[in-house]
Structure 1
Amino acid sequence: MTQPPIRICIMGSGAGTTAQAIMSAIAGVHYAAIVLILTNTSKAGICSVASAAGIPCVVVDPADGATIVREMRNHGVDLVVLAGYLKLLPADVIAAMDGRVVNTHPALLPRYGGAGMYGKHVHRAVAHAGDTESGVTLHWVTARYDEGAVIAQARVALKPGMSPESIEQTVRQTEKEWLPVAILELAQSLWKKRNLLN
């Protein structure tokens, strides 16, 4: 008997462009389904993206781990994708999801990770260092910012003297194209593993 799809929750704090790209990639595959969107702000565009796709969007207090866990359990979530979610997950959420939370980071970890290293801050640091490449990292989430094991990375070449804004634009375009594929591959791998165990 074929197993049900990997049920995915996306957590985001912004416009939802990354979530939209992931939703578009997952639409129609048998091994993955987005079942819940969680955000820490009612003003986030990600709720509009969720509404348009018929996916429930719930605004949660980022410090209220019990509510976050309850929402995930109520929706049978198997995998959590942090896509532009700018808050540290409470330890009880990480424990409850038991190694099933991934994050995207707009640089090549372990460089340019940790507290305060998000968005424009990352791209400024890359530009200031004069790096010749940057990219996107998909990694497992632990109790500390950006310290979980790397799952996959996409690298992009940088031209000398690129501004932080140009680097950000280049990395965002790469993320939009690469991340949905990386999430699909991860979901398919988890689904196949579950099929082998059952």
Structure 2
Amino acid sequence: MRLGFLSSHGGSTARAVTAACRKGELHAVPALLISNNSTSPVMQWAAETGLARAHLSSAAFPNPDELDAAILRTLRHHDIDTVVLSGYMKALGPRTLGAYRGRLLNVHPSLLPLYGGRGMYGDLVHAAVLAAGERVSGATVHQVDAGIDEGEVVAQSRVEVHPGDTVATLRARVQATEGPLMIEALRALALAAGKPT
């Protein structure tokens, strides 16, 4: 698999997947990072690790159709066959969704369908979990479709919510499961496609 990552901020899942590939724990090639945020830590990380990178945002492409076309063109230029969203804070357009249907994965910091959808991202998810008094949270890898956090669930991790947890402590434990969960999901996707895992 040739992997492309889309990320807006830190890209912790992209980093974990790339590390697994370079250690030989996942037979895939990290080949591209696309970010809508030129000053994001993930762009700096990509530069430091030699990963090809592209800044594609609505600032350069105010028309959503043109941005969608630019993202798809860039993915194809780098021969990407599987796309991983790692904290990408924008909706993808129909061209990219159609071209990568079944090979476009996102990780979300809750047990979907709980605490997903519009406005549910990052620390807002963990705050909602704590406010509801949940005893268990976790992460979900799912297929990406036109709905927000609505695609088919591929894998989930479960994390106990401890008495006295804060957003920061819960985030740390959930985030620690996201990389391994995505790696597991990518292995399953490769196996289903008849590729080495």
TM category (shorter chain) comes to 0.7 to 0.9
Which of 33, 46, 52 pairs up with 2:48?
A: 52
Any gaps of 5 or more consecutive residues in structure 2? 59-63
Which of 6, 10, 24 pairs up with 1:11?
A: 6
Which of 85, 91, 100 pairs up with 1:97?
A: 100
1:186 Cα deviation (Å)? Answer: 3.2
1:16 Cα deviation (Å)? Answer: 2.8
Q: May I ask how many residue pairs the two structures share in their alignment? A: 188
**Relative to 1, partners in 2 of residues 1:54 and 1:187: Cα closer, same or farther, differing over 3 Å?**
farther
Say whether 1:124 aligns with 2:127. Answer: yes
The residue aligned with 2:167 is 164
Give the match's secondary structure for 1:109: coil
Code of the residue aligned with 2:37 in structure 1: it is T
Any gaps of 5 or more consecutive residues in structure 1? 1-5
Give the match's secondary structure for 1:67: helix
The residue aligned with 2:30 is 34
Sequence identity percentage: 37
Which of 62, 72, 85 pairs up with 2:75?
A: 72
The residue aligned with 1:82 is 85
Give the match's secondary structure for 1:65: helix
TM-score (norm 1): 0.87
Which of 150, 153, 168 pairs up with 2:156?
A: 153
TM-score (norm 2): 0.88
The residue aligned with 2:17 is 22
CA distance in 1, matches of 2:11, 2:84: 12
Code of the residue aligned with 1:13 in structure 2: it is S
Q: Which moved more, 1:166-175 or 1:50-59?
A: 166-175
Conservation of the 8 A alpha-carbon contact between 1:126 and 1:164:
no
| C-alpha RMSD over aligned residues | 1.8
Code of the residue aligned with 2:33 in structure 1: it is I
Which of 170, 190, 194 pairs up with 1:188?
A: 190
Conservation of the 8 A alpha-carbon contact between 1:25 and 1:180:
no
CA distance in 2, matches of 1:67, 1:91: 12
Give the match's secondary structure for 1:94: helix
